[in-house]
Structure 1
Amino acid sequence: PSLIIVCIQVNSEDNNEDVSEAELKADPCSLCRKGTHRFVLNEEIGLKCNICSFVSQEIKYILPPWVMDRSERSSKKRYAHEEDCSTLDGFMFQDIGCSSQGSHIHFKGTVWERFPYIKKSLYVHQQEGFEFLWNNIAGGIELDKSKRLASPHGVGGCVISHAPGTGKTLLTLVFLKTYMEVFKEIRPVIMAPSSMLLTWEEEFRKWKFDIPFHNFNSPEYSGKEHPIALQLAGNCRSTKFKRMVKLLSWSKGNSILGISYTLFEKLAGQNDDKKAKRSKDEDDVRKILLEIPSLLVLDEGHTPRNERSRIWKALENTKTEKRIILSGTPFQNNFDELYNTMCLVRPKFADKISMKTQKIGRNGQEVTDAREKWTSLTSTIGKLADDRLLEEVKSMIAPFVHVHRGDILKKNLPGLRECVVVLHPPLLQEYLLKKMERVPDTFKLEHHLTLVSIHPSLLVACNYYEDKSSEFEKALMDKITSKSFRLNPDEGVKTRFLMALIQLSVASNEKVLVFSQYHDPFTLIKDQLGSILNWIEGKEFLQMDGKQNVKLRQQTMSIFNDPNSEVKVLLASTRACREGISLIGASRVVLLDVVWNPSVERQAISRAYRLGQKKVVYTYHLITTGKMEGDKYLKQIGKDRISELVFSPTDEHGFRMTGSSSNSDDQILDAMVMSDELKGIFSKIVYQPKESNLVDNFGSVSPIC
């Protein structure tokens, strides 16, 4: 029997009464070989005789009784306020269920034979990922019905860990299109940071996929809402009611719901305030989001990696175990977070670890708790030469983690040249950096050092005053707060490097992408660009950050990537530019500060170094001399090395995301180093740092005398 979907339930007996006996006899087309039609509701067709297949009424003309009741009430009394529109009357969960596969359309052969045209549109690593998704989510690429319905062992969630910029979105879209054609009525959900939902919309349009995509975060309709849902909405235009329309449309099947992590956490997460009870509508929405999705796609799936966070707990409560994590950087900071990510995509992952019987405790004792076993397995990885435990961990995750490190980029792009540039700060900046090292609060220390290492005037943004009564301190503050000092990039070694690089890049017709995790440096740099080059924001330079409207961010991206635009520089927040953001207009990437998480740096570089890039991409990670930033960068490299060990590829297509040369072929950097005005700021340059032994080659970043 067909599935009666949410809110689209029709009493077939009542509708049968509309077809009178006289009409049946009068209309020869309505004659049934058994004398009387037996009408049943087919969700895709309408009221259909299950004997002779005569269709009495098409599905698009059928309204559920509760909608008819609402229409009758509204004809007597118009809504005074939109908020009076009860959003979820009539949801009947008992009729929905949560079928993991949906109704199956019987096909023979493999998925490649059923969809022969898709192979040409995919690179080799995407073809492998496509089969991997079918094996994990559907049980295999054979489209035999009995195999599909048998729920074979091993079917469940999986991770697509392909290097940033290698086409994970297209791969996922192709999989969803084919999967939804084989399994009707499934209800996929794509979850992503809110800014990336628009990117998904763009990808649907770009590749001309006709699957309706309902952006739950957007205040606008997609234009592909179900007609019954729109009829139900009437003139109501509140966000709450529009979301109901999108839920109804998605629940019909054969469409996709897009929602941000933040909104999902808000609507489906546990209510921390026990006194503030949810309304019935809110409870219904929560139930829908947790129980109805039959497939979850978690873009930037490493985002919910803390088991104590509300978003992780909310996702843990989702009913479906068919989950796809998309992440070029699943290893973020430590193995505890990786364990949480693995348990999220494969809820039975912990059970698999718990079933291990070998004694893996430090003293040889048997450990029973899954998390303790995981800690025992991973605690020495990257520290000892023995790789037995590393291989054991890799074998545990290999069945549901597909890795591609990015060799497709090396084969198809002009190249990537990375370098760490260690810079001598001027005397005043060096003095302030040493003062910052005495800040007792760790978080403040990080913040203060980062800002002051860019330009001393940013000390003002730190609200730091050591001794207000000291005449020297007063004179110092007067100096760094003066307009002339602030607008002089030469007073800060990183701003000096940046300004020289920008001017040389513009002369070579290249665009520069500048990353920082803070907003204050961008305010300063914009003022300096205006003062020195007479540039105007919106014309020669742009800024992209998390405060921007998502549509404006998308517009900024398009303008920057347009080779005919006048824009030369984009100042971008590392937090706002995540996977899915393409900034291939840039061929020079500057990272102003050092972060603990190596994936943040990799993600930033991959905004420019990705499929579609036409030029060699040069990256500059700026570090000031002294212990603080250098030590921090070395620890970042250590984390990245562990990630490489665990997620090293198992096939011949593996490649770590680095360039092809350890020597400089960077004419702009060479010109800066040879310049009489600039050569004094350079302490050391390490090319291809992730291919180097930094302890020996990079070592201490103290000044070279």
Structure 2
Amino acid sequence: GLGKTLQTISLLGYLHEQRGITGPHLVIVPKSTLHNWMNEFKRWCPIIRARKFHGNQEERNRQKEELISPGKFDVCVTSYEMVIKEKGHLKKFHWRYIIIDEAHRIKNENSLLSRVIRMFHSNYRLLITGTPLQNNLHELWALLNFLLPDVFSSAEKFDEWFQIDSESQKDEAVLQLHKLLRPFLLRRVKAEVEKGLPPKKETILKIGLSEMQLKWYKQLMQKDIDAINGAGERSRLLNIVMQLRKCCNHPYLFQGAEPGPPFTTDMHLIENAGKMMLLDKLLPRLKERGSRVLIFSQMTRLLDILEDYLLFRGHKYCRIDGNTSGEDREAGIDAFNEEGSEKFCFLLSTRAGGLGINLATADIVILYDSDWNPQVDLQAMDRAHRIGQKKEVHVYRFCSENSIEEKVIEKAYKKLKLDALVIQQGRLQDAGGQKSVKKEDLLEMVRNGADKIFSATGSTITDADIEAIISKGEEETEDLNNRLQKFSESAIKFTLDGNMSIYDYQDEKGEFSGVPSGVDMKAYVAANWIGPGTRERKKVKYNENEYYRDKMTVGRSAPKGPRLPKIPVMHDFQFFDVQRLTALFEQEANFEVMKHQQEQKRSLAISQGASEETIAKMEEEFKDPNLPQPLTEDEMLEKDRLLEAGFSNWNKREFNYFIRACEKHGRADISAIAADIEGKTFEEVKEYSQIFWERIGE
């Protein structure tokens, strides 16, 4: 809805009118938008001879002779599938412009479409997409490689450029990526293009599972219990994930769940699925308000069930999925969009109906289930939330409570952060994202809410409940969006804690009044920087017996261990006396462990009714001088002195700058070296340099 189609047509119009370049141009678009592109060419630039190249074998042969032959057309508009089928004919032309709409279709450089379009000869190439970054940076490389195969020849090289191992590399990579994209990326957001576009409001509506769904959900979990306990392959888990998602949508997606024969469309179709009950309560309210609705689902068999439901309730509707022919798509879209149309609902499959088509006459979008890839859902919402929309668009995302779907939506929101940081904010946090979901993530998803599912009872909802569901959904969604917004803002401010920033921090007493005037900002930040602690991986128990033992022993907390002193992280370039400090910390830890064990022994003896003499004798034994001893006062002072003696305020980046500066200016030119290291004074660098050259041989 940003006017990408119009902008492209105006470019071809400019070439035709101003430069005398009439073509031939090739425009490759999704099947659903062929009709729209032809209409837009007619509407905005009738002088260009745009020809549609699409149809069965017979029609295409006729088109090749009469229309798509040299001199008879300026622009050939065709679909992705036709490009693959007719590559032999299209390869004969030398195209002026190859334009690909919804270009994320070629994000995988090894797909058939990607390989075919790389065979065509062209002077210029243009990619149109609302979502250039979906999963990871490698997909961005695939698009850039198509535009400039000479510059972006090696994927390995590209991945190497943006390999992030440290803070300094992250900043360098960001700058590189921005410099790199600037010449090739023209980016628009709706707020810049259309000031009068009404807002879009998304609400996640959580609904419990019905009795029948709970029964099937439990059976699916029990059937593959060993895989859920971590014994199975990743592929098996993926299958379980799919089955559970089907169960969340509607139990009739499973063979044998629907009562019959005879199979009748009746209230049981609604009552046996939580989401259907929610939909049944929601649609009449929306109809009363005069709204019109798009319902998206990924499963075409679910669209069949929804079709039965709409017929049962007497709502008029249209439908598009992957099997709908081009003519039917055009007829459906036109029937829905025409003035005074009686069609109330449009059923769409997320992948087939989510690209490029204009349904701005609807103002409600219902996502019956969510996609792993959030960009697909965003594309779906944008069928209604586009230029030309008069009303506020409401998006209702259905989610089954305490089920796997909560985790799918969480995963999708995490991917949205990636887009926010790389393309929108130009930061690379998270951008090396894994292409596929890891086994551990799948296990976590499948187990999500398992204990609640097994103790749940089926849900039914009344008209009063729906108000509560919507208001609760609005609150939760707002909370999620706020967290996401803070994440994106804090990413620009170099913090990742969501709400605190080094620029406007106030201490408890409110004494901190910002950075003192006349102080270099970078130096101030560097001096007050506190590094994050080390991250430890959470242990996941895959042993079946342990898993159940844990589940059954809820409420009993594990006995607490002794509080051991924590050894700080000591890098070699910080020149601590690691050997002596480790010895002191170990001595302190040994004493704490022994003290804890003695305390436990004493408590146990008292609880078992030991006499006072026994306890006194025990305490006498505890005073044995051969047992580990606490640090003496001198040793405590020594420990503090050694910790202060190290250069704890020097980080890896500054160390690297120091090394490079020494290579550049020579080790003796301290002032030149200090000038190259941000945030360090001449005295600090001089002191560091002296120790560095003394201890370099260690």
Q: What TM-score, normalized to structure 1?
A: 0.57
Q: How far, CA to CA, are the matches of 2:131 and 2:72 in structure 1?
A: 32
Gaps of 5+ in 2: 228-235, 427-459, 488-496, 499-698
Counterpart amino acid of residue 25 in structure 2? P
Relative to 1, partners in 2 of residues 1:578 and 1:626: Cα closer, same or farther, differing over 3 Å? same
Quick one: which of 515, 524, 547 aligns to 2:296? 515
The DSSP-based 3-state class of the residue aligned with 2:254 is: helix
TM-superposed deviation, 1:286: 5.3
1:62-109 Cα offsets, whole Å, 9 max, x none, are: xxxxxxxxxxxxxxxxxxxxxxxxxxxxxxxxxxxxxxxxxxxxxxxx
Q: Deviation of residue 307 (structure 1)?
A: 1.9
Q: What is the CA-CA distance between 1:551 and the residue it aligns to? A: 2.1
1:205 to 2:42 alignment: yes
Question: 1:455 and 2:255 equivalent?
Answer: no
- Displacement, 1:591? 0.3
TM-fit CA distance, 1:477 = 6.6
Cα distance change, pair 521–409 in 1 and its aligned pair in 2 (3 A)? farther
2:110 counterpart residue number: 308
Residues 214 and 258 in structure 1, CA contact (< 8 A), matched pair in contact too? yes
> Is the alpha carbon distance of 1:387 and 1:530 closer, same or farther for their aligned partners in structure 2, counting shifts above 3 Å?
same
**Cα drift, residue 492 of structure 1:** 1.0
From 288, 294, 306, give the equivalent of 2:92: 288
1:491-570 map, 5 Å: 491-531=272-312, 533-535=313-315, 540-570=316-346
Change over 3 Å in CA distance of 1:478–1:551 after alignment to 2? closer
- Could you tell me whether the CA contact under 8 Å between 1:219 and 1:242 is conserved in 2? no
Give the Cα–Cα distance (whole angstroms) in 2 for the partners of residues 425 and 383 of structure 1. Answer: 45
CA RMSD of aligned residues (A): 3.3
Please say if 1:262 is aligned against 2:67: no
2:199 aligns with one of 411, 415, 440: 415
State the 1:402 CA deviation: 1.0
> Does the 8 A contact of 1:487 with 1:528 survive in 2?
no
The answer on 1:606 being equivalent to 2:382 is: yes
Question: CA, structure 1 residues 527+176, in 2 after alignment: closer, same or farther (shift >3 Å)?
Answer: same
Distance 1:210 1:196 in 2: 21
Higher mean C-alpha displacement, 166-175 vs 199-208: 199-208
Task: Give distance in 2, aligned partners of 1:483 and 1:382.
Answer: 62
Q: CA deviation at 1:253?
A: 7.2
Output the CA distance in 2 between the equivalents of 1:382 and 1:608.
42
Query: Which secondary structure does the structure 2 equivalent of 1:586 belong to?
Result: coil
Matching residue of 1:642: 418
CA distance in 1, matches of 2:395, 2:185: 29
Aligned equivalent of 1:676: 464
**Contact 2:265–2:308 (CA<8 Å) still a contact in 1?**
no
Aligned counterparts of 1:180 and 1:412: Cα–Cα separation in 2 = 32
1:444 corresponds, among 239, 246, 252, to 239
- Measured against aligned partners, the alpha-carbon deviations of 1:393-442 in whole angstroms (never above 9, x if no partner) come to 22212210111122147721222111222222223313423444565634
- Partner residue in 1 for 2:148: 346
What amino acid sits opposite 1:373 in the alignment? K
Alpha carbons 1:493, 1:681 under 8 Å: kept? no
- How far the C-alpha of 1:204 sits from its partner, in A, is 1.4
Aligned amino acid, residue 375 of structure 1: D
User: CA shift at 1:674, angstroms?
Assistant: 9.4
Structure-to-structure mapping, 1:460-479, within 5 angstroms = 460=255, 478=259
Distance 1:582 1:331 in 2: 22
Give the equivalent residue in structure 2 for 1:127: none
Partners of 2:168 and 2:33 in 1: CA distance = 40
Matched, 1:243 2:45: no
User: Would you say the 8 A contact 1:381–1:389 is kept in 2?
Assistant: no
Look at both structures and tell me which one has the larger radius of gyration over its CA atoms: 2
Q: What do the CA deviations read for 1:577-598 (whole angstroms, capped 9, x no partner)?
A: 2443011121111001121111
CA distance in 2, matches of 1:640, 1:481: 46
Letter paired with 1:201? M
Partner of 1:298: 100
Inter-CA distance 646–321: structure 2 relative to 1 (3 Å threshold): farther
2: CA distance, partners of 1:240 / 1:673? 57
Q: Please state if 1:252 is matched with 2:71.
A: yes
1:374 and 2:374 matched: no
1:115-194 to 2 correspondences below 5 Å: 165-181=1-17, 182-194=19-31
* Aligned amino acid, residue 273 of structure 2: G
Cα displacement (A) at 1:344: 0.8
1:318 pairs with 2:120? yes
Aligned to 2:358: 582
CA contact (8 A) 1:424 1:681 kept: no
Deviation at 1:528, TM superposition (A): 1.9
Shift in Å, 1:600: 0.5
Q: In structure 2, the residue corresponding to 1:303 is in which secondary structure?
A: helix
CA contact (8 A) 1:561 1:583 kept: yes
Distance change in 2, residues 1:423/1:384 (3 Å): farther
Residues 177-235 of structure 1, C-alpha deviations (whole Å, 9 max, x = no match):
01122143531110112232221111112225221111111479xxxxxxxxxxxxxxx
Distance in 2, Cα, partners of 1:633 & 1:385: 31
Residue 687 (1) aligns with residue 687 (2)? no
1:497–1:383 distance in 2 versus 1, CA, 3 Å: farther
* Local SS of the residue matching 1:687: helix
CA contact 1:188–1:257 (8 Å) conserved in 2: yes
Alpha-carbon spacing, 1:173–1:443, altered in 2? closer, same or farther (3 Å): same
**Offset of 1:241 from its aligned partner?**
3.8
CA distance in 1, matches of 2:249, 2:5: 35
Paired position in structure 2 for 1:116: none
CA contact (8 A) 1:561 1:585 kept: yes
TM-score, normalised with respect to structure 2: 0.58
Partner AA of 1:331 in structure 2? L
Kept in 2, the 8 Å contact 1:591–1:622? The answer is yes
Q: Which has the higher helix share?
A: 2
Question: Does the 8 A contact of 1:511 with 1:586 survive in 2?
Answer: yes
2-side partners of 1:383 and 1:633: how far apart?
30
| Aligned position for 1:594 | 370
Aligned identity (percent) is 24
Distance 2:92 2:289 in 1: 55
Provide, for residues 134-186 of structure 1, a one-character-per-residue CA deviation record: whole Å limited to 9, x for no partner: xxxxxxxxxxxxxxxxxxxxxxxxxxxxxxx1110001111100112214353
Name the CA shift for 1:631/1:382 in 2 (closer, same or farther; >3 Å): farther
Task: Give the secondary structure class of the aligned counterpart of 2:397.
Answer: strand
For 2:164 and 2:262, locate their aligned partners in 1 and report how far apart those are by CA, in whole Å: 49
Q: Aligned pair in 2 of structure 1 residues 642, 649: CA closer, same or farther (>3 Å)?
A: closer
User: What letter matches 1:188 in structure 2?
Assistant: H
Deviation at 1:311, TM superposition (A): 1.4
Query: Counterpart amino acid of 1:193?
Result: P
1:69 maps to none
The code of the aligned residue for 2:189 comes to R
Indicate how the Cα distance of structure 1 residues 247 and 185 shifts in structure 2: closer, same or farther if over 3 A, else same.
Answer: same
Check conservation: 2:23, 2:96, Cα contact below 8 A: yes
